[in-house]
Structure 1
Amino acid sequence: MTKHEFEVAMTCEGCSGAVTRILDKLEDVKFEIDLPKKLVWIESDRDVAFLTDTLKKCGKEVKYIGTK
């Protein structure tokens, strides 16, 4: 599985909680959230466009940084 790095405009625990709830619905996905750095790492075989669109469902600005 590829590990992708995203910058998500999270400002509080509620924001990271929203990201967690959205990503928990996906199967075969592992993820980590670094709230102070506003980073989300997603380990998945799904394509970047799908992962980006999924993260945008939390209502925050999402920027794809690259693979890690």
Structure 2
Amino acid sequence: MASKTHEFQVEMTCEGCSGAVNRVLKKLDGVDDIQIDMEAQKVYVASTLSADVLLETIKKTGKATSYIGEKQ
């Protein structure tokens, strides 16, 4: 199955926040790439996993998170 890039809005205020998001996502099998835009508070995840799995994983950091959609 080809990976898709999912876009999430994540409340991040510092490098520690983005680091936490990066760490939890890297623990998942099926995540190919993670891009974090601190200014826009967006996280882009290229993965074969469902958006729901990724969303729940990011929420484990305690950050306010919402799924925006699939990036074309």
TM bin (shorter chain):
over 0.9
Q: CA deviation at 1:16?
A: 0.3
**Paired AA for residue 34 in structure 1:** D
Structure 2 regions of 5+ residues with no counterpart?
Answer: none
Q: Any stretches of 5+ residues in structure 1 without a counterpart?
A: none
1:12-68 per-position Cα deviation (integer Å, ceiling 9, x unaligned): 111001101111111231110011110000011111111100000110010100011
Q: Which residue of 1 aligns with 2:28?
A: 26
Partner residue, 1:3:
5
Compute the RMSD of aligned alpha carbons: 0.8
Whether contact under 8 Å (2:30, 2:49) holds in the other structure is no
Runs of 4+ aligned structure 1 residues displaced above 4 Å come to: none
TM-score, normalising length: structure 1? 0.94
CA contact (8 A) 2:25 2:54 kept: no
Quick check: 1:46 aligned with 2:49? yes
Task: State the alpha-carbon separation in 2 of the partners of residues 24 and 64 from structure 1.
Answer: 18
Residue identity over aligned pairs, in percent, reads: 49
